[in-house]
């Protein structure tokens, strides 16, 4: 059996880091971890080929080569998904799909032969068994939430790891919290399920053995969903990193209550975590209450962020505007909050009602959903907000303009540096040296941010030299955010 695995193209967003990747000669930020894991779950004797449309083209001969085609996608990849399905069907190929987009909205895709939904550890074996007997069903689905003890190591050898900026692994699924807008609970449950520490170490070792020596993203829904289990894992990672002379800088996603556990932050620092993404969502207590983000209401958010920075972990913050309780005042309030926290990577999106979420159910019942969600985070409005569509889009545009303006962005870097105490260990890589010189030319000479770049460059070099590599990275990301917001404004000249 010849299996072709296809990862659809992700449209340009703030998250794909398009404008930053060229500095390090990479084509995509992350590999398609789901497909790499699925590839390791099918029979070993199958021939396997993976095409990631974010780094290469899907050629006619690739499709013709395959006996069967697997496709996995997120909602935001729908346009690419439809093109892939069309090409495969025109070639007369059997196409099998899975992943979040299909698990949440499989009814949107008519031309698919077979849906393997929910978690692959449960539904893929059912499909494979029926494939042997020639008695395949249209849909394979299961509410079962399996343990992850038998999940295999991703099949890294079927991709070129050098095309990616960061590798990914998974440690757990699920989250103990139940935010109204989040689909994680519906897909993976409220009881986090973990791999064994030795599994995670084996995955890190597998990346080390294929020659990876850069950032690794642990893509858990909430890395600290069970603090004691995570602490046990971190102690193992610390030993492994030390034995290998710290080959990986680690980053992950977590909840704000990380700041309440000093031991956990210290262990993460010792394990060489240098970044964490937090869903902060909003500085408005009414907004947090509305979306059931209870964990964010129990703590002073600014103090929490600074405490995490003080432990050598840079916070990347997710923010949302468009809650029912939001008025136009939320935009200047959020501007002030983002500046005061020193969250340099501040990712702001308009609230989206995703399928399977409590928010979706509520807004559908209220007759307020006006279009299907796409997962897009650059200004589309999919429901009728209480403040009105035009005020929401206008305020969003002004908010982006403010936080990504060079003056405010570099001011945020300086605020971050006041509280950040670097702990991560790493070796300067050749691509980082090249990125540095590109940065001097592209930002230091050609960019409209050059004045602020050099001003903060000198301050960092003199007063905080240990943070200098991170400063260069932040400067590069700043250009990406600024250019992405400009692209967004151009796309939306005509309003909503």
Return the C-alpha torsion angle 253, 254, 256, 257, nearest 10: -160
> Which residue from 5, 147, 179 is spatially nearest to 84, judged by alpha carbons?
5
Same domain, residue pair 45 and 96: yes
Same domain, residue pair 191 and 274: yes
**496: confidence class by pLDDT, cuts 50, 70, 90:** very low
Q: For residue 380, what is the domain's CATH number?
A: 3.20.20.70
Give the pLDDT of residue 489. 72
**473: confidence class by pLDDT, cuts 50, 70, 90:** very high
269-317 pLDDT, tens digit per residue, is: 999 999 999 999 999 999 999 999 999 999 999 999 999 999 999 999 9
Same domain, residue pair 67 and 196: no
> Which residue from 162, 183, 159, 188 is spatially nearest to 173, judged by alpha carbons?
188
Give the pLDDT of residue 104. 93
**100: confidence class by pLDDT, cuts 50, 70, 90:** very high
Same domain, residue pair 300 and 399: yes
What are the phi and psi torsion angles at 42 (to 5°)?
-85, 165
214-232 pLDDT, tens digit per residue, is: 999 999 999 999 999 999 9
**490: confidence class by pLDDT, cuts 50, 70, 90:** confident
366-409 pLDDT, tens digit per residue, is: 999 999 887 776 678 999 999 999 999 999 999 999 999 999 99
Distance CA 74, CA 311 (A): 33
Q: Is residue 496 part of a domain?
A: no
Pairing of strands 172-173, 193-194: antiparallel
- Contact of 456 with 462, CB cutoff 8 Å: no
Give the pLDDT of residue 159. 98
Whether 78 has a pLDDT exceeding 80, the answer reads yes
Distance CA 97, CA 103 (A): 9
**494: confidence class by pLDDT, cuts 50, 70, 90:** very low
pTM more than 0.75: yes
21-36 pLDDT, tens digit per residue, is: 999 999 999 999 999 9
**Mean per-residue pLDDT of the chain:** 95
Same domain, residue pair 378 and 454: no
Residue recorded with tokens 């950040």 = 420
Give the DSSP letter of residue 11. P
**12: confidence class by pLDDT, cuts 50, 70, 90:** confident
Whether 495 has a pLDDT exceeding 50, the answer reads no
Give the pLDDT of residue 493. 58
Interior/surface letters 135-174, b for 16+ CB within 10 angstroms, e for the rest: eeeeebeeeebbebeebebbbbebbeeebbbbbbbbbbbb
Give the pLDDT of residue 13. 79
Distance CA 312, CA 275 (A): 8
Q: Is residue 424 part of a domain?
A: no
Whether 126 has a pLDDT exceeding 80, the answer reads yes
**Chain-centre distance for alpha carbon 482:** 19
Q: Which residues pair with 216 in a beta bridge?
A: 167, 250
List of residues 6+ apart from 483 with CB closer than 8 A: 19
Q: Is residue 41 part of a domain?
A: yes
Which of residues 384, 419, 454 is at a domain's end? 419
Q: Which residues pair with 273 in a beta bridge?
A: 250
Whether 492 has a pLDDT exceeding 70, the answer reads no
Interior/surface letters 108-119, b for 16+ CB within 10 angstroms, e for the rest: ebeebbbbbbbb
Same domain, residue pair 435 and 414: no
Same domain, residue pair 479 and 397: no
Give the pLDDT of residue 282. 98
Same domain, residue pair 100 and 190: no
> Which residue from 34, 357, 72 is spatially nearest to 186, judged by alpha carbons?
357
Same domain, residue pair 121 and 177: no
List of residues 6+ apart from 110 with CB closer than 8 A: none
> Which residue from 145, 135, 143, 159 is spatially nearest to 40, judged by alpha carbons?
159
Give the pLDDT of residue 374. 77
How is residue 404 written in tokens?
């990504």
Residue 195's alpha-carbon distances to 64, 144, 173, 230, 356, in angstroms, are: 37, 16, 9, 10, 26
Q: What is the mean pLDDT of residues 57-79?
A: 96
Distance CA 137, CA 134 (A): 10
Pairing of strands 94-98, 114-116: parallel
Q: Is residue 63 part of a domain?
A: yes
152-203 pLDDT, tens digit per residue, is: 999 999 999 999 999 999 999 999 999 999 999 999 999 999 999 999 999 9
Q: Is residue 153 part of a domain?
A: no
The interaxial angle of helices 330-341 and 406-419, nearest 10 deg, is 50
Same domain, residue pair 134 and 241: no
Same domain, residue pair 127 and 248: no
Count of beta carbons in the 10 Å neighbourhood of residue 466:
12
Distance CA 253, CA 221 (A): 6
Q: Is residue 155 part of a domain?
A: no
- Contact of 188 with 145, CB cutoff 8 Å: yes
Whether 340 has a pLDDT exceeding 90, the answer reads yes
Look at the chain and report how many structural domains it folds into.
Answer: 3
Whether 83 has a pLDDT exceeding 90, the answer reads yes
Q: Is residue 197 part of a domain?
A: yes
Which of residues 395, 419, 443 is at a domain's end? 419
Which of residues 106, 140, 174 is at a domain's end? 140
How is residue 328 written in tokens?
């136009």
Give the pLDDT of residue 15. 76
Count of beta carbons in the 10 Å neighbourhood of residue 359:
24
How is residue 471 written in tokens?
């400063």
Percentage of the chain surpassing pLDDT 70?
98
Whether 485 has a pLDDT exceeding 90, the answer reads no
Distance CA 466, CA 132 (A): 58
How is residue 300 written in tokens?
């002073």
Give the gyration radius of the chain's Cα atoms. 22
Q: Is residue 318 part of a domain?
A: yes
Same domain, residue pair 452 and 415: no
Q: Residue 237: give the domain boundaries.
A: 166-419
First to last CA, the chain: 48
């Amino acid at each position: 059996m010849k299996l072709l695995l296809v990862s659809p193209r992700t449209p340009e967003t703030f998250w794909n880091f398009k404008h930053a990747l060229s500095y390090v000669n990479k084509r995509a930020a992350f590999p398609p971890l789901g497909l790499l894991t699925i590839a390791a779950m099918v029979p070993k004797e199958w021939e396997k080929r993976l095409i990631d449309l974010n780094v290469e083209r899907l050629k006619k001969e690739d499709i013709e080569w395959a006996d069967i085609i697997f496709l996995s996608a997120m909602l935001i990849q729908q346009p690419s998904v439809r093109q892939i399905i069309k090409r495969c069907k025109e070639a007369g190929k059997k196409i099998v799909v899975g992943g979040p987009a299909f698990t949440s909205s499989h009814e949107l895709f008519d031309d698919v032969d077979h849906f393997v939904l929910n978690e692959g550890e449960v539904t893929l074996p059912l499909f494979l068994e029926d494939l042997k007997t020639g008695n395949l069903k249209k849909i394979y689905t299961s509410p079962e939430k399996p343990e992850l003890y038998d999940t295999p190591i991703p099949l890294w050898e079927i991709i070129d790891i050098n095309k990616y900026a960061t590798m990914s692994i998974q440690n757990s699924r699920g989250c103990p919290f139940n935010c109204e807008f989040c689909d994680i609970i519906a897909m993976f449950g409220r009881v986090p399920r973990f791999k064994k520490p030795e599994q995670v170490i084996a995955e890190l070792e597998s990346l080390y053995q294929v020659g990876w020596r850069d950032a690794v993203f642990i893509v858990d829904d909430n890395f600290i969903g069970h603090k004691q289990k995570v602490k046990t894992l971190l102690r193992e990672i610390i030993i492994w990193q030390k034995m290998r002379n710290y080959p990986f800088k680690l980053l992950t996603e977590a909840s704000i209550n990380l700041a309440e556990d000093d031991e956990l932050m210290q262990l993460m620092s010792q394990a060489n975590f240098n970044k964490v993404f937090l869903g902060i969502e909003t500085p408005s207590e009414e907004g947090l209450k509305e979306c059931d983000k209870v964990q964010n209401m129990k703590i002073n958010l600014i103090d929490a962020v600074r405490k995490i920075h003080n432990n050598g972990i840079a916070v990347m913050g997710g923010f949302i505007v468009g809650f029912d309780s939001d008025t136009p005042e939320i935009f200047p309030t959020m501007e002030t909050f983002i500046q005061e926290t020193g969250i340099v990577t501040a990712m702001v999106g308009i609230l989206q009602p995703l399928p399977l979420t409590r928010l979706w159910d509520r807004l559908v019942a209220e007759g307020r959903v006006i279009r299907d969600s796409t997962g897009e985070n650059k200004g589309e409005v999919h429901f009728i907000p209480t403040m009105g569509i035009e005020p929401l889009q206008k305020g969003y545009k002004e908010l982006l303009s403010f936080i990504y303006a060079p003056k405010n962005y570099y001011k945020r870097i300086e605020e971050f540096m006041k509280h950040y105490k670097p702990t991560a260990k790493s070796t300067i890589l050749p691509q980082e040296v090249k990125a540095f010189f590109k940065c001097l030319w592209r930002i230091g000479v050609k960019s409209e941010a050059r004045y602020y770049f050099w001003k903060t460059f000198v301050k960092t070099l003199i007063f905080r030299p240990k943070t200098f590599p991170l400063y260069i990275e932040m400067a590069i990301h700043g250009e990406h955010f600024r250019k992405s917001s400009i692209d967004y404004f151009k796309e939306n000249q005509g309003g909503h």
